[in-house]
Amino acid sequence: MALLQIHDPSAAPTPIGIDLGTTNSLVAYVTSLGEPTTILDCDSEALVPSVVHYAKDGRVIVGRDAQKLALVLPKDTLMSVKRFMGRGADDAETRRLSTYQFAKSDGPVVKFEVGQGRVVTPIEVSAEILRTLKENAEDELGRVGGAVITVPAYFDDAQRQATKDAGKLAGLNVLRLLNEPTAAALAYGLDSKKNGTFIVFDLGGGTFDVTVLSLDDGVFQVRSTGGDTQLGGDDMDRALAHHVFASMQADASSAAPELVRAILDASRAIKHALTANETVEADIDLPGGKSFAARVTRPEFDALIKPIIERTGPTCRRALRDAGIEVAAVDGVILVGGATRVPLVREFVTALFEKEPLGSIDPDQVVALGAAIQADLLAGSGPRDEVLLLDVLPLSLGVETMGGVVERILARNTAIPAGAKQVFTTYADNQTGFELHVVQGERDLAIDCRSLAHFTLKGIPAMPAGMARLAVSFEVDADGLLKVSAREESTGIEQSIDVKPSYGLSDDAIEKMLLTAYEHGEADVATRALREQQVEAARILAATKKAVESDAALLEGPEERARIDAAVAQLEAAVKGTDHRAIAHLIESLDETASAFAGRRMDLRIRQALTGRSVKDVADESAHAQGIEAHLGNTK
C-alpha cells in the first residue's frame, strides 16, 4: 500500500535548481540535511527527456511519453529545441538534418508548426519542459520557491533572455541564470572541499563550454570561459545517422521525417551502447514495417566523431591562455554533460589536460545539483553562506564610434555583476542627438562584431563640436543581461535601454567571434589605426577649410594660402589610402603649416572677447576660475 505524502502548508517554499538541457532536463533541491539531491518523476527517473509533443486534440505531452510519439508523429514532436533558443528563422541550424516543420514568420524568431497548424516558439516549448519540472518538484516538496536555471556559459544575451522568458512563462520565479560549468564547479567544490585551479569541460547534447576557475577558501572565481553553442552529442548522432543512411544507400536530405527520426533515434541508442561495447548490432525499425540491420564498431564511430571532438581543442587551449595558466597548473578536470560518457571524449580530455578527469558525481546530474545549491544560497536558507560565486562576461561589450571603430566599455572575462562608464563627445557642430550602437565581440570594427541594440538620445542643444559630454554606462546583472544608459551631462537629458537583442545568430557565431579576433588581430589593429586617423584627418580638414574661408583676411598673402591648400590636398589624398602612418604625418604637417595662421586667428578671438572689458573684470574671472579648479582638485 502506497503512503500518502503530507506537506506542511506553513513551511517555507523550497528553492529549486533546474538544468534545462538539450537532450534531458532535471530539477534538484537541497534537503534539510544540507545535501543537494535530484527529484524523481512518477517513473522514478531523475532525467526528463527534453521532448514535447503537441497532440491534435490540444494536449501537450512532455518527457518519455512524448519521446515515444516522436517515431510515429515526428512533425508534432519537438526535440533539442535548446539549440534554437534566441536564434533567427534564417539561421543555419534550421537547415540541419532534423524533422522540424518550420512555420513562416514575419519576425526574427524561429517558429515551429505542430498539431494541425499550431505555431510555437522555442521559448514556449522550453516553458512546457520547465512547467513539467516545476510540477514534479511540487509533487515532491509541496510549495516551490525561487528557481535557478542553468544556461551554457557561451549563451549570448538573446539566448539568456529567451531562457529567462521561458522560466517566467512556466510560472517560475527565476532567481538567477547560472552558467552550467559554474554550477558543476559549485557542486564539486563544496563536495570535495578542494582549493586550486580547475577546468570544467561541459559537453552536452547541443552545447559545449569550457571554463577555467579558481577555488580558494569558498570563493569560486571564473578566470576565463569559452565554448560553442552549436556543438554537442546531437552532432555525434547526426554524424552516425549520415553513416547509417549511406549504408542504406539512401539520401538523408530527401528522406521522410519519419525515417529521419527513426535513424536519429537509433543512432543515439547505438552511441549509448558503444560506451560499454566495442561492437553494436541493431535492427532499426523503419516506417512501413521494414527494418535495417546496422552494425557499428567503436573504431568506426570514433572515426566519425573525431572531427567533432577535436573542435573542442582550440577552445580549451584559448581558455587556458586567457586565464594565463599552463596545463601543468591545472589541479583537476570536471566532466559535465552526457556526451562526456563517450570513451573517445574522455581519452581526448585526458590527453589534452594530461590528467584523468574527475568523475565522482554523475555528469548528467552535477549541473542541477550545483543549481540547487545556488538557489539555496540565494534563498538564504542554506548553511553555505560563506560561499562567493563570481562569473564572467564571455564576450566584450562596447559602442560604435566615428569611423565604425568599437570602443570597448566592458572587456571579456570581466567578473559580473559589473558596471562601467565612459564619456564621449560630439563630432560635428550643432549636433542635437547621439545614435548609440551597442555591439558585442572582440573585433576592432563594429561591422565585424554582433549588433545588440540601437537607440537615440535626442533633444541636445546645438553646440560646437566637442562641447557636448555624453556619459555612456553599461551595467551587466548576475544573469549576464545588459542595461545601457546614456546621459548628456550639461543638460541632464538621459535615455536607457534593457538590451534584449533581436533573436538570431549565424551558425557558430559566438565561437567565430573569438577565432576571427585572434586570426585578424594584427590586421584589426592596423585597420583601427587607419579609421581613427581618417576620422581625425576629416575633422582637421573640415576645420581648416572653414577657417581659411571665414578668416581669409588674416592670411599673409597668396603664398601662405597656397602652402595651406597644398598641405590640405596632400592630406586629402592620403586619407584615400591605407597608410595610417602617412595620414598621421600629414596631419602634423598641415598643423605645422597652418600654425601661424591659427595663432593670428586666436589672437583675434582674444581681442574680440576682451573688447570693452576692464582688467579688473578679467582678473576677477581668473581668480574665480582658479578657485573652482582648486575645489575640483580637492574633491577628486
Average pLDDT over residues 452-460: 77
Average pLDDT over residues 510-521: 48
Asked if 338 and 363 count as a contact pair (C-beta separation under 8 A), the reply is: yes
**pLDDT exceeds 50 at position 230:** yes
Query: What's the confidence (pLDDT) of residue 217?
Result: 67
- Cα distance between residue 200 and residue 225, in whole Å: 9
Over residues 253-307, the pLDDT tens digits come to 788 888 888 888 888 889 889 888 899 888 888 877 788 888 889 999 999 999 9
- Cα distance between residue 306 and residue 203, in whole Å: 14
Helix count (H) and strand count (E) of the chain?
A: 16, 27
Asked if 63 and 49 count as a contact pair (C-beta separation under 8 A), the reply is: yes
Q: Which three cell numbers stand for residue 2?
A: 502506497
Asked if 77 and 100 count as a contact pair (C-beta separation under 8 A), the reply is: no
* Amino acid at position 478, single letter: A
Query: What's the confidence (pLDDT) of residue 268?
Result: 87
Cβ of 190: how many Cβ atoms within 10 Å?
A: 20
Over residues 9-30, the pLDDT tens digits come to 556 788 999 999 888 899 999 9
**pLDDT exceeds 80 at position 334:** yes
Average pLDDT over residues 197-211: 85
Q: Which three cell numbers stand for residue 530?
A: 587607419
Tell me the backbone φ, ψ of residue 194, rounded to 5 degrees: -100, 145
Tell me the backbone φ, ψ of residue 566, rounded to 5 degrees: -65, -40
Asked if 137 and 129 count as a contact pair (C-beta separation under 8 A), the reply is: no
289: left (phi over 0), alpha (psi -120 to 50) or beta: left
**pLDDT exceeds 50 at position 631:** no
- Cα distance between residue 305 and residue 235, in whole Å: 8
- Cα distance between residue 606 and residue 608, in whole Å: 5
Q: Which three cell numbers stand for residue 208?
A: 559545449
Q: Is the model more confident about 253 or about 366?
A: 366
Q: Which three cell numbers stand for residue 562?
A: 597656397
pLDDT band at residue 348 under the 50/70/90 scheme? very high
Q: Which has the closest alpha carbon to 284: 223, 241, 320?
A: 241
Average pLDDT over residues 131-152: 90
- The domains located in the chain, with CATH, are 9-192+365-384 (3.30.420.40), 233-308 (3.90.640.10), 397-505 (2.60.34.10), 522-635 (1.20.1270.10)
Rounded to 10 degrees, what is the CA torsion of 158, 159, 164, 168?
A: 90
182: left (phi over 0), alpha (psi -120 to 50) or beta: alpha
- Cα distance between residue 139 and residue 154, in whole Å: 33
> How far is residue 89 from each of residues 76, 164, 217, measured CA to CA in Å?
18, 20, 46
Give Cβ neighbours of residue 324 (< 8 Å, ≥ 6 apart): 223
Q: Which has the closest alpha carbon to 87: 417, 509, 533, 408?
A: 509
β-pair partners for 475 = 419, 483
The alpha helices in 424-520, defined as continuous H runs, are 509-519
The alpha helices in 38-93, defined as continuous H runs, are 64-69
pLDDT band at residue 617 under the 50/70/90 scheme? low
Active site residues: 19, 82, 180, 202
Q: Which has the closest alpha carbon to 420: 484, 489, 490?
A: 484
The alpha helices in 495-579, defined as continuous H runs, are 509-519, 521-550, 557-575
pLDDT band at residue 636 under the 50/70/90 scheme? very low
Q: Interior CA angle at 361 toward 356 and 362, to 5°?
A: 100
Say which residue the cell 522540424 belongs to. 100
Over residues 487-497, the pLDDT tens digits come to 887 778 887 76
Q: Is the dihedral of CA 151, 362, 24, 41 positive or negative?
A: negative
Q: Which three cell numbers stand for residue 375?
A: 538557489
**pLDDT exceeds 70 at position 391:** no
Asked if 392 and 416 count as a contact pair (C-beta separation under 8 A), the reply is: yes
Q: What percent of the chain has pLDDT over 90?
A: 13
- Cα distance between residue 53 and residue 135, in whole Å: 17
Q: H or E stretch including 30?
A: strand 24-30
Q: H or E stretch including 220?
A: strand 219-228
- Parallel, antiparallel or unpaired: strands 219-228 and 279-285: unpaired
Q: H or E stretch including 487?
A: strand 482-488
pLDDT band at residue 95 under the 50/70/90 scheme? low
**DSSP per-residue string spanning 351-377:** HHHTSPPB-SS-TTTHHHHHHHHHHHH
Mean pLDDT of the chain: 78
- Cα distance between residue 568 and residue 545, in whole Å: 8
Q: Which three cell numbers stand for residue 45?
A: 527517473
Query: What's the confidence (pLDDT) of residue 281?
Result: 87
Q: Which three cell numbers stand for residue 72?
A: 510515429
The alpha helices in 196-342, defined as continuous H runs, are 233-248, 257-273, 298-310, 312-323
Judged by DSSP in three states, 95 sits in helix
Say which residue the cell 533546474 belongs to. 18
* Amino acid at position 498, single letter: D
pLDDT band at residue 503 under the 50/70/90 scheme? very low
Asked if 357 and 349 count as a contact pair (C-beta separation under 8 A), the reply is: yes
Cβ of 438: how many Cβ atoms within 10 Å?
A: 25
Q: Which has the closest alpha carbon to 69: 50, 52, 48?
A: 52
Q: Is the model more confident about 605 or about 118?
A: 118
18-32, 210-224, 427-441, 499-513, range with the lowest pLDDT = 499-513
Query: What's the confidence (pLDDT) of residue 352?
Result: 93
Asked if 115 and 55 count as a contact pair (C-beta separation under 8 A), the reply is: yes
Query: What's the confidence (pLDDT) of residue 248?
Result: 87
- Cα distance between residue 599 and residue 493, in whole Å: 36
Q: Which three cell numbers stand for residue 62?
A: 512532455
**Percent helix / strand / coil, the chain, rounded to 5:** 45, 25, 30
β-pair partners for 334 = 200, 358
Q: Is the model more confident about 512 or about 202?
A: 202
**pLDDT exceeds 80 at position 519:** no
Judged by DSSP in three states, 494 sits in strand
Q: Which has the closest alpha carbon to 210: 59, 317, 57?
A: 317
- Cα distance between residue 39 and residue 141, in whole Å: 9
Over residues 28-57, the pLDDT tens digits come to 999 888 889 999 887 788 889 999 999 888
